[in-house]
Amino acid sequence: MTDTFLFEAEAKDEGLKTVGTSATRIDGLDKISGAAQFVDDIDFGPGLLHAAIVESPYAYARILSIDTSAAEAASGVVRVATGKDFPYKFGMYMEDRYIFAQDHVRFVGEQVAGVVARTHREAVQAAKLIAVEYEVLKPLLDPKEAVAEGADLIHPDLDGYVHVPWFFPKAGTNIAHWRKIRKGDTEKAFAEADYVLEDTYRVPRYAHCAIEPHVTVSKLDYADRLTVWTASQSPHTQRHLFAEALAPLGFAHKDVRVITPYVGGGFGGKAGVSMEIIGAAMATLVKGRPVKLRFTREQEFINTYQRQGVVAELKVGVKSDGEITAVEHKLYWDAGAYVEYGANVVNAAGLSASGPYRVPNITNDSICIYTNLPPGGPYRGFGYSEFHFGLESHMDRIAEAIGMDAVEFRRKNAIVEGDELAYGAHMNPSGMIEAIDKTAAAIDWGVEETSANPNTVIGKGIALFWKAPAMPPNSSSASFLKFNEDGSINITVSGMELGQGYLTVMAQIAGEVLSVPVNKIRVETPDTDRNPYEWQTVASHVTWSSGLAVEKAAIEARAKIFDVIHQVYGYEDDSLYLEDEKVKCKTDPTFAKPLREFVINGIQTEDGTWRGGPIVASGKFMPEFTNANSDPETGQCGHPNVHYTVGATGVVLEIDKQTGRVWVRKAALAVDAGRAINPDLVNGQITGGLVQGLATVLYEDMRFDDGGKMLNPTFTDYKIPTAFDIPDEVIPIIVEVPQPDGPFGARGVGEHTMIGAAPVIANAVYNALGVRITSMPITQEKIAMAVIQKSKT
Amino acid sequence: MVIANEFDYQRPSTLADVTRMLAEHPGSARILAGGTDLVAWLRDDAIAPDLVVDIKNITGIHDLKVEGSALRIGALVTFSDLIESEVIAAHAPLLAEMAETVASQGIRNRATMVGNICSAVPSCDAGPVLLAYDTTVHLVGPSGARSVDINDWFVGLRKTARTDDEVVTHLTIALRPHGGVYVKLMRYAGEDLAQAAVGIVAYPDDDYRVTFGAVAPTPIRSTRIEDALHGKPLTESAVAEVVAMVRDEISPITDIRASAEYRTRMTEVMLERGLWAASERLAGRGPAYGDRLI
Amino acid sequence: MELNLNINGEHWALDVAPADVLLDVLRDKIGVKSPKIGCERGDCGSCTVLMDGRSVRSCLILAVEADGHDITTVEGISSDGLSELQNLFLVNNSFQCGFCAPGIVLSATELLEHNPNPTRHDVQEAIVGNLCRCTGYEPIIKAVLAAGKGGSE
């Protein structure tokens, strides 16, 4: 950790002008005026071709034949493609995936063939004419079935798959990865515990449901340059994966350009590569013509990443005074047909599944299991929402069993700075106790409330959360920065504006260092030819990582500015400072040189010659303290996670005893942002993430039939919240215990705000009705039927 | 999905033209009013007509007025028209209550109540309410006009008494003082199709109409429950008696939206809460129209 | 078939097929991009336009049905400078990814035309058909309520 940033972090009380303010978003005007351009809005002229794909109706089948002759002869068709055209594997962390299915299809919806035609209608009509013959096989739809003795192997060649060194697939099984933590001696600790609780929790799959569907336009020009316009969270990673996947066709990174404008919501679903490779590959078959592939809402549901389901077997032991002594957490992940990205979700969860607690004895087994269901992948929370449901439900149950208040139980055990983590490293500075106390106060914890309505009861619940960014140890960010004649700034980065306000936060960081107001700073959306590298906009890490890169670029620009001033006027660098877009001098109060006078053209000296010229700068950040050395059998001795963000969620619910209808009267959420660079935007993540989290537990209910087909791939039947389905009152609480190596002390919060929602509802439902529901979702129906069931016993 | 199957489109200005076009394309012409069902089916590839006949230019079928002792509601009256109508507010606020539960503003500005009972999906919102009223459906066909009592309108799953060459022109509803309620079970507070629904109209002298939606292939009336309530003041035991009958009157299915048992239990709850609300409203009291009971 | 429309005050004469949907014609033939393709079933509201001043789902309207009608999109509302409502959305940082924003601006504009001082419930009802995945709706509702109070908030 470098000291430059400690300096900035310590500037907390020195009158920050831009950082810490709720500046108006720099993309706000674009978005409310209709100016904001998304990929599907870009015009490519009358030559634009349209792609449609043919999907497998079976969850598991051998492809016997594909007859494309009728499609090839159909009106408007330019090209038809199948797996034969692209017999290459690709993948983010493991290469187990195909551009078009090869010999087998492994989930309902997997792409088998594609048509490129002159109009969208002709493409769709021609796709219907492609005849595929299958030999249907029996699918594996449950992770525990898929790991049972003698189960069919969904990936028989698993042993030969290329993968990152920190994954441990088990050859001859459907286990693609197994992350283990063995710390201390849980067997002994359980034997000596005063109370032990063991139970199983079930969390099904979920869909991201960004309102903008996935869409790409790809063009291989006559100079053999492939450009892909894509709604992606990860332009550089996409470029990398395209280049790798298409390397057999002769592509290298320099031959591929990815351009990403605004993205209409990502939530993880637009990270990595899912459908984009299909469009890019088909474009290579129609040189010189742009090809658009836009997914329908149904395709969004079934053929882009889903959030994995999990069966969680949890055992926790405590002393009678409430001290947690042991956690044993076994996570069986329904990871889907291809786990090239999703296996890292399993990995991340395995490292942290003992939760935000001080626990001396831990046995975690996080098992990534192939199933014949859509590929699991990154989803806001990255495995943490999934295991927190069981964990935080369990902690409430234990507190009750030993006669301890649920909040007191959390306070006693909450992880604090310096505590040893499951893998041996130590916890960063964080304000968990403050988060717990403020959340509990916000919902009047301890005060029982009765409802005025005879049909309803009121319950309260609390749940903690934590998460660390799940990234390779060398994930990096970079930034370019330049001034313009009017003293305005252009910053180029490859982080993505998904809605979280990333562009604005980068502007605020640079603006603070350079004393330039945010409305004079433009941060442009990426083009991999022009914008420097960013690993991906995931993991809630870009405020921290890209923020550091931008801060460094701004500091470099500032140094260059001071250098020019020093050259011309002789003032020492350490006597100079920036204020109100001018260079000023501590030792000469009369000196105030406006930036705009020289940041392009330099300063003329006494002899008529010039010094300076355009102020341009760059910054990069890559953590130098992380590694993936965690032992495969124990998980110890590595430093896989940069830091954790912590927080707490509390709710007050009113529930109709007969119908099970839940009103969230009040929801409080405290998250330790380190430093809220823009409080409005942090509040936006709190409210938005909370509502998305509540949706997973109260409304969203993905159903499959026993052939592995998703039965509700529409918003009609997969219910995401409307304006009526939100808490009556959300109380956002920003805690600020600085992250020492963060820009102005900031760390990420984007995913964390979802994580406590599911267990806090389970806990409040129990508090209100005395029914403990250990599977998600906890819908009206489930509550009503559980109440009826309870009244019978 | 883009509409893959192409078709011809006509927008005639007379009812005679409409029926002629329908007769010329037996079984392969579709009537287009609001389009919120039809265009969705076209996009889903669920239907592939040769001809779409847009009736929005026909005059005389957008009335919303009192005619004698009946309310006349034209085929082109939208759910928004019902909600915004002073005539409805004065004479049949139950229709506005039901209309407010349909989808959302942007759909209601186009979707017609008549279209809703012509599509006749089991969960159609207008079905139970129109069935609880004394409603008559008026149609014209090649051989002229005819009327169908609402009790004879829903003949089977998504099937009505309308033949392929007929078009509904308007509904009439006999007006009498009444209190009514439409209770709709949804999966959350936002837009949803009915998972189960109860429609009740309470006339003076303990005269009730009780209907159910989304718990059978069509909206249904329970004359058994109506008879059990008839002529007796509403008491807790009278309500309990008819609530106990619900299970035998309805035949809900279990599907991805809800289980049959939950639908049954909730119909019982809705009937109980609905009966009290409807009778209170008849007396000029009770929850305001539009307040949700569940 | 010939189609005559007024889009944001400008007259257009086009040739379309009966099966062409209004949303696609607006975006692809006229170049009006603010109504978005989100679900193509009328569930998400991102395709919302105003037809003769009323909010409708352009994904569920055949282009030919719009013959002779006036269509207003966000581009039309923004052309003379931001409306008071748009400005309140801006200063309240109401939107995040912005994909639902055009639809919500139009639904809320329709609301305020007919109900200048809406309640929280009225605002929620007006936008219930516009799905937003990012914001949790609260900052959107806040801005519309502020517009209802004559901008004071």
Span C40-53, pLDDT tens digits: 999 999 999 999 99
Per DSSP, what are the bridge partners of residue A489?
Answer: A483, A521
Which residues of chain B are at the C interface, by a Cβ-Cβ cutoff of 8 Å? 1-3, 5-9, 11, 32, 35-36, 39-40, 42-44, 52, 54, 56, 80, 100, 103-107, 109-110, 190-191
Residues in chain B with CB shorter than 8 Å from the CB of A298 are 1
Q: Per the structure block, which two tokens stand in for C122? A: 């009225």
Residues in chain C with CB shorter than 8 Å from the CB of B80 are 54
Residues in chain A with CB shorter than 8 Å from the CB of C86 are 32-33
Name the residue of chain C whose CA is nearest to B9's CA.
C18
**Inter-chain contact B1–A296, Cβ cutoff 8 Å?**
yes
**Is pLDDT above 90 for B240?**
yes
What is the reported pTM?
0.97
**Inter-chain contact C99–A715, Cβ cutoff 8 Å?**
no
Pick from C18, C41, C67: which is nearest to B8 by CB?
A: C18
Return all residues near C5 (Cβ < 8 A) that are at least 6 apart: C11, C12, C14, C66, C67, C68, C69, C70, C71
**Inter-chain contact B104–C60, Cβ cutoff 8 Å?**
no
Supply angle C-alpha C59, C65, C71, rounded to 5. 70
- The domain ranges of chain C are 2-77, 82-148
Residues in chain C with CB shorter than 8 Å from the CB of A720 are 131, 133
Span C56-109, pLDDT tens digits: 999 999 999 999 999 999 999 988 899 999 999 999 999 999 999 999 999 999
Distances (CA, A) of A419 to A262, A363, A424, A648: 40, 17, 9, 19
Q: How many CB pairs under 8 A join B and C?
A: 87
Give the strand order in the sheet containing A616-621: A521-524, A489-493, A477-483, A616-621
Nearest Cα of chain C lies from the Cα of B32 at a distance, in angstroms, of 9
Nearest Cα of chain A lies from the Cα of B193 at a distance, in angstroms, of 8
Give chain A's domains with CATH numbers.
3-36+475-621 (3.30.365.10), 44-137+214-294 (3.90.1170.50), 309-471+628-792 (3.30.365.10)
Nearest Cα of chain A lies from the Cα of C113 at a distance, in angstroms, of 18
Residues of chain B with CATH 3.30.43.10: 8-54
**Subunits close to B (at least 3 CB pairs below 8 A):** A, C
Residues in chain B with CB shorter than 8 Å from the CB of A295 are none
**Inter-chain contact B43–C41, Cβ cutoff 8 Å?**
yes
**Inter-chain contact B256–A717, Cβ cutoff 8 Å?**
yes
Span A644-672, pLDDT tens digits: 999 999 999 999 999 999 999 999 999 99
Q: How far apart are CA A735 and CA A429, in angstroms?
A: 12
Q: How far apart are CA A146 and CA A552, in angstroms?
A: 49
Name the residue of chain C whose CA is nearest to A296's CA.
C39
**Inter-chain contact A722–B189, Cβ cutoff 8 Å?**
yes
Residues in chain B with CB shorter than 8 Å from the CB of A128 are 4
Q: Please report the pLDDT score of residue C80 as a whole number.
A: 87
Which of B255, B256, B259, B264 should one mutate to test binding to chain A, selecting the residue with the greatest count of A CBs within 10 A?
A: B256
pLDDT (average), residues B24-48: 97
Q: Give the rounded distance of the alpha carbon of A398 from its chain centre.
A: 31
A29 touches chain C (CB under 8 A): yes
Residues in chain B with CB shorter than 8 Å from the CB of C54 are 80, 109
Domain with residues B8-54, CATH architecture: 2-Layer Sandwich (3.30)
Return all residues near C147 (Cβ < 8 A) that are at least 6 apart: C84, C85, C88, C108, C112
**Is pLDDT above 80 for C150?**
no
> Using an 8 Å Cβ cutoff, are A162 and A92 in contact?
no
**Inter-chain contact A780–B192, Cβ cutoff 8 Å?**
no
Q: Tell me if residue A657 falls in helix, strand or coil.
A: coil
Contacts with C, A 690-719, CB within 8 Å: 690-692, 714-716
CATH 3.30.390.50 fits B179-282, yes or no: yes
Backbone torsions φ then ψ of B90, nearest 5 degrees: -80, -35
pLDDT (average), residues B51-62: 98
**Inter-chain contact B3–A780, Cβ cutoff 8 Å?**
no
Contacts with A, C 45-74, CB within 8 Å: 46, 73-74
Residues in chain B with CB shorter than 8 Å from the CB of C55 are 105-106, 109
DSSP characters for chain B? ----S--EEE--SSHHHHHHHHHHSTTTEEEESS-TTHHHHHHTTS---SEEEE-TT-TTS--EEEETTEEEEETT-BHHHHHH-HHHHHH-HHHHHHHHTSS-HHHHTT-BHHHHHHH--TT-SHHHHHHHS-EEEEEEETTEEEEEEGGGTEEETTEES--TT-EEEEEEEE----EEEEEEE-SSSSS---SEEEEEEEETTTEEEEEEESSSSS-EE-HHHHHHHTTS---HHHHHHHHTTHHHH------SS--HHHHHHHHHHHHHHHHHHHHHHHTT-SSPTT----
Q: How far apart are CA A223 and CA A226, in angstroms?
A: 9
Pick from C36, C40, C90: which is nearest to A28 by CB?
A: C90
Q: Please report the pLDDT score of residue A793 as a whole number.
A: 84
Enumerate residue ranges in chain A where pLDDT < 50. Answer: 1-11
Domain with residues C82-148, CATH architecture: Orthogonal Bundle (1.10)
Which of C16, C65, C69, C119 should one mutate to test binding to chain B, selecting the residue with the greatest count of B CBs within 10 A?
A: C65
**Inter-chain contact C65–B80, Cβ cutoff 8 Å?**
no
Q: Please report the pLDDT score of residue A13 as a whole number.
A: 55
Q: What is the band of C149 on the pLDDT scale with cuts at 50, 70, 90?
A: confident
Residues in chain B with CB shorter than 8 Å from the CB of C21 are 2-3, 39, 43
Domain with residues B64-174, CATH architecture: 2-Layer Sandwich (3.30)
Q: Please report the pLDDT score of residue A225 as a whole number.
A: 97
> Using an 8 Å Cβ cutoff, are A236 and A258 in contact?
yes
Q: What's chain B's length in residues?
A: 294
**Inter-chain contact C129–B8, Cβ cutoff 8 Å?**
no
Residues in chain B with CB shorter than 8 Å from the CB of A782 are none
**Inter-chain contact C136–A690, Cβ cutoff 8 Å?**
yes
**Subunits close to C (at least 3 CB pairs below 8 A):** A, B
Pick from B52, B54, B104: which is nearest to C128 by CB?
A: B104
C145 touches chain A (CB under 8 A): no
- Could you tell me what percent of chain B has a pLDDT over 70? 100
Contacts with B, C 3-62, CB within 8 Å: 17-21, 24, 40-43, 45, 48, 51, 54-57, 59-62
Residues in chain C with CB shorter than 8 Å from the CB of B39 are 21, 59-62
Residues of chain B with CATH 3.30.465.10: 64-174
Name the residue of chain A whose CA is nearest to C129's CA.
A722
> Using an 8 Å Cβ cutoff, are A538 and A233 in contact?
yes
Contacts with C, A 661-680, CB within 8 Å: 680
Name the residue of chain C whose CA is nearest to B8's CA.
C18
Candidate CATH numbers 3.10.310.10, 3.40.50.2300, 3.90.420.10, 3.10.20.30; the one for domain C2-77: 3.10.20.30
Residues of chain B with CATH 3.30.390.50: 179-282
Pick from C36, C41, C132: which is nearest to A716 by CB?
A: C41
Q: Tell me if residue A731 falls in helix, strand or coil.
A: strand
Name the residue of chain C whose CA is nearest to B108's CA.
C56
**Inter-chain contact C60–B39, Cβ cutoff 8 Å?**
yes
- Could you tell me what percent of chain B has a pLDDT over 90? 99
Residues in chain B with CB shorter than 8 Å from the CB of C38 are none
Name the residue of chain C whose CA is nearest to A715's CA.
C43
**Inter-chain contact C129–B105, Cβ cutoff 8 Å?**
yes
DSSP state of A535: -
- Could you tell me what percent of chain C has a pLDDT over 90? 95
Q: Please report the pLDDT score of residue A350 as a whole number.
A: 97
